[in-house]
Each structure stands twice: as C-alpha cells, then as structure tokens.
Structure 1
Amino acid sequence: MIEELLLAGCDERIAIRPETGANQYHLHPTKYEGLLMRGSCTCGTLTPDGQRSAERFVRDYQAADDASWIRQQTKRMQTLFDGGRGDEFHIYYGPSGSDMMYWPLLMQSMLHPGQTITNIVSCPEELGSGSILAAEGKYYANTNQYGDAVPKGEIVTDSFHVDVQFLPAREVSGHIADRKQAIRDIIAARPGQPIVGNLVFGSKSGIKDDLDIIDEFREGVMWVVDMCQFRTHPALVHELLSKGVMLMVTGSKFYQAPPFCGALLVPKFWTELLMGQPAEHLRDYGRLFTAADAPPDLPQLRSIWPDHANAGLRLRWEIALDEMEAYLAIPQEETDALIRRWSRVVIGRLALSDRFGMMPDMELTNDSIISFTVSAGGRELDYDELKKLFDTLVLGEHPSLNGFKRVFLGQPVRYGKRSFIRLALGSYSIRKLMEPNGFDPYNDLHVVDLIERTAIELFES
C-alpha cells in the first residue's frame, strides 16, 4: 500500500521503469536500505524515519477525511514558518514544485483579465525539470496527478498570454550572473503591466539570487522566490513572507521525502485580493490541479476543478513534515556547523585531484550542495559523459562503502556548453551525522574516489 501511494498522484517522473526497477532518477522510493544519499538536490526516497511516517499514514488515512489532513498539514507548515505570528500565509498545493510555477500566472490572470503577463524567470537551467514549460503556461509532463494523459509542451489554456523572460544562472565562464539590472530593465519597459518576478534561493547548485531587488519594486510586481530545494532558515522564510513574497517549496529535496510534493506559501493579502475575482477562464487547469489544491477562500477555483483526494500527495507531505519538524528542532547553529564541516572535507578531497574543478563562486551558494566539473583524458566531461558517469555510479553496487552498498548523487546540470555534477546533504543525513560518533568522513571521501576511478575507467581506458 505504501509503494502504491508513493507512485501515485504526480506525473511520469515518479513511475517505475521495468528495465531498471526504478524511476527516471534511478531510485525506487521504498528501496532505501543500503543507500548512501548524497543527491538530495535531485530527489529522495523513504528513510527509516520516513518509513515509520508512511506506516502511520497508511494506518490512519481515509479518503473521506482528506480535507482534514490538508488542514492539519497546512497548520503544521504555518507553525514551522510563520515566525510565531500565527496564520499569516495560505498554502496552495500541487503535485510537484514545477506546478508551483503555474500559480502566480493563474493569480495574475484573475487580477488582470485579458492582459499579457510578463513572467521573469531567473536561473531557468538550474530549476526543476518541468519549470521552464510551466513558466510558459504549458504542460510540462505527459501525465497529470489523476493518471490521465496530457499533451506535454502544449498551452494549458489560451485564455491568457504569457511573455516569458528567462535570465541565465551563469556566465559562459561558469561565474554566477548578476541579473539585477536585467530585471530592472524588463520592469521599466512594461509600466502598468502585470509582472511575475521569479527569483531563486537555492537552485540545483545552491545559487542564491540577490533578494534586495524585491525592495526596489515593492509595488507593481508579484514576487515569487523558488525555494524548492528548501535549504533555507525559517527566519528568511518569515522575512520574505512579511514583504508579500510568495515562496515555492517542496519536501522532496533537502527534506528527503520521496518525489514529489509541492506547495506555494502565499501571504494572506494576495488571497484576499483574489477573493471574488472571476476564475471561469481557468477551468482547463482542472487537468492539473484539484479543488483541494486551492485554499478554501477561493471557492471560484474549487468549484470548477475536480473534487479529488490525492492520497499520494498527502502521504509525501506527511513524510516531509515529520522530517521538517525533526530537523528544525535542532539548533540552527549546530546544523550549520555540521554542514560546513562536511563541505570542507569534501571540497578538500576534490582539491587533491586535477580531475575535479570547483564551480566558480561556490561561496555564493549553499554549503550543503557541492558542484564540480569532472575531467578525464585531459578534458572536461560534457553533459552526456557526466550522465553516463552518473548512471554507472548510481546503478552499480559499491561494497567498498562502509555500511552502504549503493550511492546516489545529484544529477548533472548544464550551463552553456559545459556541465557539472553535484554532491548534496539532506536533512535526514545531517541528523544521522550529528549523532554521537556519527561524523565519519570515510564514505564521503570514498564517493569522490569512486567518481574519479569510474571516470578513468569510462573515458581513459
């Protein structure tokens, strides 16, 4: 029953492929034993704690009580991130982080019917795999949360038009691009037009946009920060919400729940502006969202979308929320110290070999993600070669690991004509490393050895 639910209510990315017995990321959500997880920037599996959460959910959940589960999960998330001020934001749900890209477009179409919506999207090449198509108002997958086929790449509805402005994450050199002036220019060229400003805090390589740009344009822009990696301190979440910024989050990256589960944290005043606004033109989005994904304050949306209990999504959020509560109960300075210690160990090992190159501006990214290039045969591996390296490492068994036999890394990421690979710590892994005598760098050092050795075997022999 647990496996059945974990594989339902999303899209084809979570489906198990018969040839590998795993999803497209080479993971099976219930097969976590013996797996060293160092790819939380891509997606997760169950953990021993997650298994217990899932068993409790399967025992207690009834579809007839789905609305009650949503209320409870919403309250739990509000309690974690509202800064102690009570119910200051609403939560809009969806099957994955990619679906959160639609919500601001839907909102602007309700507030500004008939007008073209400018959608500024920062770091598109480092966002989730479906986010680029979703930013254009297109179907990003071949199936939806109901299990029905949808036409990937086609516009969901022609009832509103989106003008997307993509701003690259990195320069050709690999250095993180400064996107502030480009954002200013786009806004200045569109006075009085509805604009969504999508920034990122914690991309695939941990990039953090300069969020000060929000203070320059407090009026006239619907600001949204992609925090889907969710490698973020609660204080920043509260600070941004207090400025009227919406936040895209997931529980299946840093918090290591199985893929996928998305939510948009929305300051209450935005919902209040939407109350009473027409929504009939968004009926086609019922192929992507259920009535329950919209908050109760927006009955005009809930009435035109299917009444469907997505038990798989509820299960994934239950696992994620249990993990969030466990992790955030630990003092922040202690978890930060552990992350820095791990990062120094791994970066130190990478620096010992000419086959690895650290991505520029690492000091501007999150310490829990380490991004690096790999070279073999005197040249830097390209994306396809890194993907072959990734596949070989993740699909193989490694008995030389201590207490584990498999390893999961972060998938390769392109930037321009170059690419890099990643190692990333998640919350459960951090908690285990913080246990008495839990910090043993052997496995992390050995993973780097395995990457180097495998690159030599694949591309130098």
Structure 2
Amino acid sequence: MPATQRGTLPVPANPVPETDGLDRRSPASVSFLLGTGGDRRIWPDAITRRNRYGTRATPADDEISFSSTTASNISREGFQAAGVELARLMDIASPYPVDQWFADIRDRIAGNLGCAGAQIVLAASGTDAELLALCMVAGVSRRPLTNVLVAPDETGNGVPRAAAGRHYSDLTALGSAVEAGAPLEGLPPDRIEVRTIAIRNETGEPRHQHEIDAEIIATVELELKRDRDVLLHVLDASKTGLPAVTRQAARHVAALAPGRVRVIVDACQFRGSISRLRQDLADGFMVALTGSKFIAGPPFSGALLIPPALAEELAARSDIPAGLAEYTAAQDWPAALRQRMSFAFKSELNLGLGLRWVAALAHLDRYAGIDEPRQSLVKEEFVRLVRSRIDAVKGISLHQHDEGDHLGSRAMVPLTVTNRTGAFAPFEECQAIQLSMRGLNGGPICHVGQAVRLGSRTVLRVAASAPDVIGVSLGMSAGQPLQQAFAPIESRLDAFFQKLSAVLHRPRDA
C-alpha cells in the first residue's frame, strides 16, 4: 500500500459528493460527517434527524440523557471539537496531514489511559473491534481457533456472529454490501468455533463468580487438549453492570499455554477504572473499548488496544484474513503496524470515525484527569441518588438479584419494570416505555438505556456518564460540597423520574 502523501487528504471510502454544495466546515457538514463511516444504526432519520438509538449528531442541551449504556446525544463540547478539527483538515492554506491527524487521535487515547506502549487500532464499533481481535489472533495462529464468548446476551447484538468470524450485518461501516451470517473471506467456517459462557442462570439470577471461573478454566483446558488455540473474552461490565470472569482466572488460563491462549477484555462500556485497563495491557491482554458509552461520545467510536508483544507478532508474521478489509481502513491502524503488514486495505480512511473520536476525547481528556477516588465517589453518589427515587415511582424496582457493590463502581442502575397487574412487563412494553420517554408530551425529552431481557423480566438502565462525573468534579474543585455539586444532576433526575412515572401510568389508549 502506498504511504499517505503528506499535505493532502485522501478520499474516504464513502466520500461526500463534490457537488453537494456543503461547506465542510459548517455545523451542518460536521453533523453530516459524524453520521458517516458507520452502518444504518447511525444514519439520521430524514424528519427527526435522530439515528436508530434516538440520539442526534447535533447538541440538544434541553434533553435529559441517562442512556450512556446505549448511546448519547453529542455534547456541545464534542461538537465544537469536531468542527475545529474538521476545519484544520480542510484548511487549504495550511492542511493538516491526515495520517498525523489519526496518529494524534490514537496518541490522545493512549495518553489518557497511560498505555503509551500499546498499539491502538480504531474501529467503528465494539462489534467491529471483536472482528479485529478475532482476525488478529487468527492471523498469528496456525491452529483451529476456539472463541470463548462470555455473556453473549449482555454484549452487543452482533457480537456472537462476529465472534464466529461472520458478517454480523449486510452492510459494513465502510459501505461494503456483504451477506449477513456469511464467513469473512479468509476465515473458513470450520476454522472458528464459539463456546459461550453464561453469567446468569435460566431465571436471570447472576451465577456465582467461582462457577463462571471454573467453567472458563475447564473450557480452555478442553480446547487445548483438542489442539485448538483459544481467544477468551473477559467482560469488564455487562449491559447490566455485572463483571464476568475474574482477572485471576484470565491470567491463569493465559499461562496454561502462552502464545496459544489469548485474552481480550471487553471494556466497551468503559465503566471500570483506567488503572485496571492499564494493568490488563501489562498482563498481555487486548482491550476493546468505545468512546460512545460511558465516555458519551457519538455512537460508533471504538478502538482495540494491542499489547506490545502481540503487536510485534502481528507485524512479523501475521496472515490477517482478507475479509477484514471490508471493516477497517488503513488510517485506523498505526503506521508501525500497517507499514509492516502485507494486509491489503481497500479503504484509506474513515473520516466520520475520526471525528466521532475527537468528540469523545473532549470528555475523556478531562475525565482521565480526575483522580480515581473522586471518580468512584461521584459514581457511588449517583447510584445512591437514583436508588433513593425508585420507591416513589410505582411500576419500577431494583430487583434483589441486581443489588451489589458493582452498581456503584459502574454508575449504572437496572430498573425492573412491572405492569399494572404487578407482573414483569414484557420486553416489547419496555421498549415502548423507552420510546415514550423520548416523546414531547409530559415533560422534556428523556433518554434511558435500551431494554435488556433478564430471564422472565426486562430492565431499563439509568446510568451516569463521564460528563456527569466531570461536572460534579469541577464543582467540588471550586469548593462546593458534594451535595451542592450534584444539584444539576439531581434536578435532571427529578425531571426524568417524573416523566417516567407519567409514562408508566398514562391511560392505555394514550
């Protein structure tokens, strides 16, 4: 692949037509480009200008969002940051080399996480990061591969297909039409096997941690005896905040057969500590994260962090499946890797992905500067404030199986919904509640995390985000006590639960 020419901007895979008449530095152009380089889920509706998550690519300061488990509106700070960076790229008088621009984005991610030694590959989503990790491991492995997937029901919907090396949709983020469910080119279907590990039982109750670890260890040992290599997933936080697989168990299985057992930490929710992710990389684990969940950047901003030893293997002897080129562009990769690999990229860059990460970094830069004890204090206080409001709203509850210390550390509260008869509300009814919260009647537009099935019940998730922690921390640094610093969030929580109560108790024909 020819090196990117400095001082010029390569044409992306899905360029904006030159005849569209847009000023690419205008707010409308920024919003437009933020919706490119992703699949249909982030395409805005022509009338509402909202994507399938119900969020917008323009600031919406009057809307209340506790939906960072799913997606958030872009913040004003993030939108402005994306606009500034787009103007820099398009400045004809002094163009910003696009390869340096993407390198700077990766450097900022690494700097915030304190992992300068790791290599970072950008990905359109957490599911795309799963494909990246699988293809990388397949590229350095010479044996059949078993992918041990933990809690498939509490990760991204497309992850199980991606874990099997198959196209998870019929359209990729780079605009390639593919056959959903078909294997990626270069990944024969008989080479990849998927083993799943549940973190809840059939009734939705969390399994004991030691049971999960024991099953993980037994599964990996069996696959090694079958002369297969293994990719193990460690779920840092599920959709409902549960951890899955202890780091101790992950280190144990990785040591069973170094070079044959690889570990990836799914930190896409980004609800754990930065120091833990830094230790994961030091332990030789890959880490997948997104800037679009807790960090609250626009949806479809993912990344895969690769520990130094694996990065060296990739550069030295990898045979990455060709089908990955439908999902990843050359500038997603650091030059140190892409220039040493024989992999044939089909696309030079994903501009929308870069702009979404710029918006996310407007939050991550400031969040990473807050010491972890204060981060934890704010998260725990948020959960306390949410829990203090639950009993006042008939039709929601914090189920006994969802209690635990993990709520405070994850800044997430799953609300079990019951209907008028007192029975668990079905999944479709909870989806309707979520949509009604975004309606214009009965208070401000409110966003809540997507419904999740847990056995016979369904939960809606209320969660804090990095901007919430940043706002409280700024108030405390200015001398405000914790309660005063939380006043803006409390006001939004009151309005949110007032609307939730109204939606739950409105007449059936409303």
TM over 0.5: yes
Q: 1:383 aligns with which of 423, 427, 435?
A: 427
CA separation in 2, counterparts of 1:198 and 1:305?
Answer: 27
The verdict on how the C-alpha distance between 1:310 and 1:59 changes in structure 2, with shifts beyond 3 A counting, is same
> Does 2:189 correspond to 1:142?
no
Check whether the contact 2:315–2:341 (CA below 8 A) recurs between aligned residues: no
Q: How many Å apart are 1:459 and its aligned residue?
A: 5.3
Range moving further from structure 2, 330-339 or 267-276: 330-339
Q: CA deviation at 1:379?
A: 1.3
Partner of 2:375: 335
Question: 1:100 and 2:133 equivalent?
Answer: no
Matches within 5 A, 1:81-230: 81-82=113-114, 87-113=116-142, 115-157=143-185, 159-160=187-188, 161-177=191-207, 178=209, 179-191=212-224, 192-209=227-244, 210-219=246-255, 220=257, 221-230=261-270
Shift in Å, 1:298: 4.2
Q: CA RMSD in A?
A: 2.2
Structure 1 residue matching 2:201: 3-state secondary structure: coil
Question: Equivalent residue for 2:285?
Answer: 245
In structure 2, which of residues 484, 487, 494 is the aligned counterpart of residue 445 of structure 1?
494
2:111 alignment partner in structure 1: 79
Task: State the partner residue of 2:41.
Answer: 13
Task: Assess if the C-alpha contact under 8 Å between 2:169 and 2:178 holds in 1.
Answer: yes
8 Å CA contact retained: 1:104, 1:222:
no
Instruction: Choose from 396, 403, 420 the match for 2:440.
Output: 396
What is the DSSP-based 3-state SS (H/G/I as helix, E as strand, rest coil) of the residue aligned with 1:144? coil
Question: Once the two structures are aligned, what percentage of the paired residues are identical?
Answer: 22
Partner of 2:404: 363
1:18 counterpart SS class: coil
Q: How does 1:35-74 map to 2 (within 5 A)?
A: 35-62=63-90, 65-74=97-106
Hey, what's the Cα distance between the residues in 2 that align with 1:81 and 1:171? 35
One-letter code of the match for 1:198? H
Structure 1 pair 157–58 and aligned structure 2 pair: CA distance change class (3 A): same
Deviations along 1:109-144, one digit per CA (max 9) or x if unpaired, are 22223x321001111111123222211111122322
Query: Based on CA coordinates, which of the two structures has the bigger radius of gyration?
Result: 2
Structure 1 unaligned residues grouped into runs of 5+ = 400-404
Deviation (angstroms), 1:395: 3.2
Is residue 27 from structure 1 mapped to residue 55 from structure 2 by the alignment? yes
Question: Is the deviation greater in 451-460 or in 438-447?
Answer: 451-460
Partner of 1:402: none
C-alpha deviation, 1:274, in angstroms: 2.1
User: Conserved in 1, the CA contact under 8 Å of 2:70 and 2:293?
Assistant: yes
Note closer, same or farther for the CA distance 1:46–1:302 as it changes in structure 2 (3 Å cut): farther
Match of 2:329 among 290, 293, 298: 290
Once residues 356 and 63 of structure 2 are traced to their aligned partners in structure 1, the CA distance between those partners, rounded to angstroms, is 19
Query: How far did 1:175 drift?
Result: 2.5
Q: Hey, what's the Cα distance between the residues in 1 that align with 2:204 and 2:223?
A: 30
Deviation at 1:268? 0.6
Tell me which amino acid in the other structure corresponds to 1:226. D
Please report how far the alpha carbon of residue 278 of structure 1 lies from its aligned counterpart in structure 2 after TM superposition: 4.5
Give the alignment of 1:239-278 within 5 angstroms.
239-278=279-318
Correspondent of 2:452 among 401, 413, 428 = 413
Q: Give the distance between the partners of 2:114 and 2:497, measured in 1 at CA.
A: 39
SS in 2 for 1:164: strand
CA distance in structure 1 between the aligned counterparts of 2:199 and 2:344, rounded to whole angstroms:
37
Tell me how far apart the structure 1 counterparts of residues 365 and 442 of structure 2 sit (CA, whole Å).
33
Give the aligned residue type for 2:424: E
Amino acid paired to 2:65: M
Structure 2 contact 234–250 (Cα < 8 Å) conserved: no
Shift in Å, 1:460: 9.6
Change in CA separation of 1:416 and 1:43 when aligned onto 2, cut-off 3 Å: same
Partners of 2:37 and 2:72 in 1: CA distance: 16
Question: SS of the residue aligned with 1:43?
Answer: coil
Please state how far the C-alpha of 1:65 moved relative to its aligned partner.
2.0
Instruction: Tell me the CA shift for residue 376 of structure 1.
Output: 1.8
Does the 8 A contact of 2:186 with 2:321 survive in 1? no
- TM-score normalized by the length of structure 1: 0.92
Q: Which residue of 2 aligns with 1:427?
A: 466
Stretch of structure 1 that moved more, 248-257 or 87-96: 87-96
Note if contact 1:117-1:195 (Cα within 8 Å) is conserved in structure 2: yes
Aligned residues: 451
Q: Secondary structure, in 3 states, of the residue corresponding to 1:230?
A: coil
Q: 1:395 to 1:66 in 2, by over 3 A?
A: farther
Q: 1:31 to 1:319 in 2, by over 3 A?
A: closer
In 2 relative to 1, CA 329–346 (structure 1 residues): closer, same or farther, beyond 3 Å?
same
SS in 2 for 1:376: coil
Unaligned runs of 5+ residues in structure 2 are 1-28
- Whole-Å separation in 1 of the counterparts to 2:277 and 2:294: 15
